[in-house]
Amino acid sequence: MTKPTFGTHPFLLGFDELERLVERTARTGNEGYPPYNIEQTSETGVRITLAVAGFAEEDLSITLEDRQLVIRGRSQPESDARTFLHRGIASRQFQRAFVLADGMEVSGANLENGLLHIEVQRTAPENVVRTIRITSGTAGTPTKAIS
């Protein structure tokens, strides 16, 4: 006996994309670097803040790839002229990804005091009410009865 998956439940028609989205989120493999905060800034606004000390603006990139917000940091090559007695500041490359729901839009980003702030806003969904006309005809025959 196989266990039904989330997308195969009979009351959830057309939600198979949501199951793929959950699987993709679980596979992102974010190991905790760089640390980040997510805060509610308004009823429809969210701010994602990443601690990116040591990274300049040109070392960072933010892309939106199929509803997935991806932040990448590229570290500059170190010169061998410096000798560290203790090295506690991480400067490795990173990639951090966040999956955005439908209707979420990135409205801006800024780098200030080693913190990268990304502003995300939820757009108000359009409230659509449709009336479906019922027609008589042969069962199983598709008709264009949606207005």
Shared domain for 47 and 75, answered yes or no, is: yes
d(CA 106, CA 100): 9
* Integer Cα distance of 133 and 144 in angstroms: 9
Q: pLDDT value at position 61?
A: 96
Residues 26 and 96 in one domain: no
In a domain, 107, yes or no: yes
Instruction: Please give the pLDDT value at position 122.
Output: 92
Both 5 and 25 in one domain: the answer is yes
How confident is the model at residue 36, as a pLDDT? 95
For residue 69, the enclosing domain spans: 32-79+87-122
Q: Are 23 and 49 part of one and the same domain? A: no
User: Residue 2: what pLDDT?
Assistant: 56
Flag whether 115 is in a domain: yes
Q: What is the mean pLDDT of each run of 10 residues along the chain (147 residues)?
A: 60 71 61 89 95 92 92 80 81 89 93 96 86 81 55
Q: What is the 3-state secondary structure (H, E, C) of 19-85?
A: HHHHHHHHCCCCCCCCCEEEEECCCCEEEEEEECCCCCHHHEEEEEECCEEEEEECCCCCCCCCCCC
CATH code for position 98: 2.60.40.790
Q: Is the pTM of this model over 0.75?
A: no
Residue 48: predicted pLDDT: 97
